[in-house]
Amino acid sequence: MIKIVIPSADERKAPCVACNKNSVDVKIHFSRIKYCPIKLNLCDKCYEELKMQINQPITKWMIKTGLEKGIIKIVNGDLGHGTIGILCQIADNQFYFADGLSSSEMTAEEYLKITDMDEIVDLIHTELVEVFQKDFPEEYEFYYHFLKEALS
């Protein structure tokens, strides 16, 4: 887990160790990576980039295995929950994973019959990485830990 600490005025004068930016935006970040405490002066931009690299990745293998074992499901939308079309379900959460499926008149079963598994895996992986990891990091982290636990 990464913890942000607001630095003192003197510490703010130190440049970012990644880009050498010297500004009041520089913060000290403490982290534990493999039980090794790290103290870094990083600007916000470099901190976000580092955080993305440190976060545990959801791999295509995890998605494919999850689909094969029924841990990840491709389901029909439910008007009771305000969704239509075809969705990906992990735990109790559902999300759209490909353009055009939100208004699809095809069922999930029909979609699975005509679509290659590797294509489905790629679409789900792209949605998780490009949308959830960036815009909804808490939900992404939930998916990662849920899949890690379910697949172990």
Q: What is the pLDDT along the chain (152 residues), one digit of tens a residue?
A: 445 555 555 555 667 777 877 654 445 544 444 444 456 667 777 776 666 655 668 999 999 999 999 999 999 987 666 777 899 999 999 999 987 776 677 899 999 999 999 999 999 999 999 999 888 888 998 999 899 999 99
Indicate if 69 and 141 belong to the same structural domain.
yes
Indicate if 75 and 93 belong to the same structural domain.
yes
Indicate if 69 and 143 belong to the same structural domain.
yes
Indicate if 10 and 85 belong to the same structural domain.
no
Q: Which domain holds residue 20?
A: 3-54
Indicate if 68 and 114 belong to the same structural domain.
yes
User: And the tokens for 120?
Assistant: 């489905």
Contact criterion met (CB below 8 Å) for 84 and 77: yes
Number of domains in the chain: 2
Indicate if 10 and 40 belong to the same structural domain.
yes
DSSP string of 70-139?
A: TSEEEEE--GGGT--SEEEEETTEEE--STTGGG--S-HHHHHHHS-HHHHHHHHHHHIIIIIHHH-HHH
Indicate if 42 and 89 belong to the same structural domain.
no
Indicate if 145 and 91 belong to the same structural domain.
yes
The model's pTM is: 0.65
Indicate if 82 and 142 belong to the same structural domain.
yes
Indicate if 48 and 98 belong to the same structural domain.
no
